[in-house]
Amino acid sequence: MRSSFQLPIDIQSMHLTQGSREDLAAMPPEQVNTYVWFVAPIPVAGFDPLTCQVETTLGSTTVKFFRVESEQDDVIFQSSKNFVVVADEKGKPFVPTRNLTDNRGQYPCVAVEVRFPKRLDGDTSRLPGQPFTEQERERLDLLGPDPMPEKLAALMATNRAIREHRVNGAKTISASEVTALITAHRINDSRRVLAQTVSLVTTPDAFKNAAEDYFLGAAKESVSLALASLKRAHPAPPTTEDELQSLVLSTVDAVLVHHVETRRLIEPFWDGSRRINVDGKEIEVPRSPKGETEIQPTLHVFFQMALEPFGVHVIRESDEGSGSLDFRFSTTNSRSELISVAAEFKLAHHKEVKAGIKRQLPRYMDSIPCTHGVFVLMWFKDEKGKYFSEPKSQSLQETRSFVGSLAANPENANHKIASRVIDCSIRPSASNLR
């Protein structure tokens, strides 16, 4: 049996309400119109706007399908752009609010507005004031209230319109495809809003998917293919530290190194060039490697995608008492034993590389405790030192040999440390090679 020990990457259900819920509750349901807006997973190509009526438990409901051309016209983005998402959990990756919307800031897109003729609040499967049956009450006691009743009611009305009018080939929308929406309650035939709620990441995987899209971009599909080969190489979850270390190293080699060194997915690890004003003169600051804490979120997403299917929990900036370990990989075996592997990532131009592998990582391993560790250097110096020239004293091959020798000779004979050096340097594209 797998352990429930986990620190997931997800944040679920964020809501920001403006207005008075008390004033809303005091109004008779028939004096309030409820509007729900969301972006629909409908291709823009071939789409024709449509407004239609469908019957719901609240009466004749208007469903409007329309194009959104820009962020200025995007009601959800304009209402949520000032949302400040700060994760309390240490080490959770930050994702800009724009990327938590279902269109990820891409335009044009197709949106839906559903207008209910009465106040929409709570269970939407019955008319307002209709009593619970005993069977429904038992279900409510067992499962609790329906999650996001406004979302479910809006999707049911929308799917009814989709089927009746053959929108997008009559392909209906599932609840998992809509993660951001706005619910607004207005007094009938007026613009006065009694209450409005912006809801983001309303499905269990919404934040994780947004993080993968944001940090991996176009490489997400390629990473998914690499993960399939990883699964074939490791058909069973790890049961020992040695197997867990092997799985982590396979992830580094088959997924991370492949995409960084072969597919040149280096953008997440570099700051772009920028122009700044110094003493009234505009100068260009060249590209430079990001700091360790800035590259960790991308690494976190890589590892989370790769190791979660194996029941391995990826804990970033794990507090081990002697400091914050970059990554701790943990799982439980069939005997309910917790097994862990410690991992440290450093920049190759860091001044304490030797101390990191000889003292820092072993200290974290002793604190966990575990006997297996992984030490990874991120290398940014290109062959000619044109874009970045540190460390000056060593080449890539010399550094790999140096780090490998340190890892192979730990001071604690019980420690088993593996090392990797990942080449993140800027190189000319293949089309420019002669």
What residues contact residue 108 under an 8 Å CB cut-off, 6+ apart?
44, 67, 68, 69, 70
Stretch 114-137: mean pLDDT: 67
Q: What is the pLDDT of residue 322?
A: 61
Q: What is the pLDDT of residue 140?
A: 54
Give, in order, the Cα–Cα distances in Å from 396 to each of 240, 267, 290, 349.
Answer: 32, 20, 19, 11
> Could you tell me if 221 and 305 are in contact, meaning their C-beta atoms sit under 8 angstroms apart?
no
Domain boundaries, the chain: 14-203, 209-432
Give, in order, the Cα–Cα distances in Å from 360 to each of 353, 368, 414.
Answer: 10, 13, 16
Buried b or exposed e, range 270-302, using 16+ CB within 10 angstroms: beeeeeeeeeeeeeeeeeebbeeeebbbbbbbb
Name 15's bridge partners: 199
pLDDT, tens digit (0-9, with 9 covering 90-100), for 355-404: 999 999 999 999 999 999 999 999 999 988 888 999 998 899 999 999 99
pLDDT, tens digit (0-9, with 9 covering 90-100), for 415-431: 999 999 999 998 865 54
Q: What is the pLDDT of residue 365?
A: 95
Return the residue matching tokens 């920001």. Answer: 16
Statement: residue 433 has pLDDT above 50: no
Q: What is the pLDDT of residue 267?
A: 85
Q: What is the pLDDT of residue 294?
A: 87
At 78, which helix (H) or strand (E)?
A: helix 75-80
What residues contact residue 328 under an 8 Å CB cut-off, 6+ apart?
314, 315, 318, 320, 340, 341, 342, 343, 368
Statement: residue 89 has pLDDT above 50: no
What residues contact residue 180 under an 8 Å CB cut-off, 6+ apart?
38, 39, 76, 80, 100, 101, 102, 198, 199, 200, 201, 202
Of 1 and 263, the one with more pLDDT: 263
Using pLDDT thresholds of 50, 70 and 90, give the confidence band for residue 84.
low
Count CB atoms within 10 A of the CB of residue 96. Answer: 13
Closest CA to 364 of 313, 404, 415, 300: 415
Q: What is the pLDDT of residue 129?
A: 54
Q: What is the pLDDT of residue 384?
A: 87
Using pLDDT thresholds of 50, 70 and 90, give the confidence band for residue 92.
low
Q: What is the pLDDT of residue 248?
A: 97
Residue 79 CA to residue 121 CA, distance in Å, equals 21
Statement: residue 131 has pLDDT above 70: no
Using pLDDT thresholds of 50, 70 and 90, give the confidence band for residue 4.
very low
- The tally of CA atoms less than 13 A away on the side-chain side of residue 128 is 15
Stretch 70-87: mean pLDDT: 79
Q: What is the pLDDT of residue 410?
A: 94
pLDDT, tens digit (0-9, with 9 covering 90-100), for 152-197: 899 999 999 999 999 999 999 999 999 999 999 999 877 788 889 8
Q: Which of 96-105, 229-238, 363-372 has the highest mean pLDDT?
A: 363-372
Statement: residue 7 has pLDDT above 50: no
**Whole-structure pTM over 0.95, yes or no?**
no
Of 5 and 146, the one with more pLDDT: 146
Stretch 226-235: mean pLDDT: 87
Stretch 351-356: mean pLDDT: 92
**Per-residue DSSP letter, 97:** G
pLDDT, tens digit (0-9, with 9 covering 90-100), for 18-68: 887 778 888 888 899 999 999 999 999 999 999 999 999 889 999 999 999
Phi, psi angle pair for 400, to nearest 5°: -60, -40
Using pLDDT thresholds of 50, 70 and 90, give the confidence band for residue 283.
low
pLDDT over 70, % of the chain = 83
> Interhelix angle for 292-307 vs 220-233, to 10°?
50
Using pLDDT thresholds of 50, 70 and 90, give the confidence band for residue 216.
confident
Q: What is the pLDDT of residue 227?
A: 84
Mean pLDDT computed over every residue of the chain: 84
C-alpha triplet 317, 262, 361: angle, nearest 5°: 25
Q: What is the pLDDT of residue 367?
A: 93
Q: What is the pLDDT of residue 208?
A: 82
Using pLDDT thresholds of 50, 70 and 90, give the confidence band for residue 274.
low
Q: What is the pLDDT of residue 80?
A: 83
C-alpha triplet 271, 72, 167: angle, nearest 5°: 110
Statement: residue 144 has pLDDT above 60: no
Using pLDDT thresholds of 50, 70 and 90, give the confidence band for residue 329.
very high
Stretch 237-264: mean pLDDT: 93
Q: What is the pLDDT of residue 25?
A: 80
Stretch 238-243: mean pLDDT: 96
> Could you tell me if 59 and 118 are in contact, meaning their C-beta atoms sit under 8 angstroms apart?
yes
Count CB atoms within 10 A of the CB of residue 31. Answer: 12
Residue 86 CA to residue 342 CA, distance in Å, equals 26
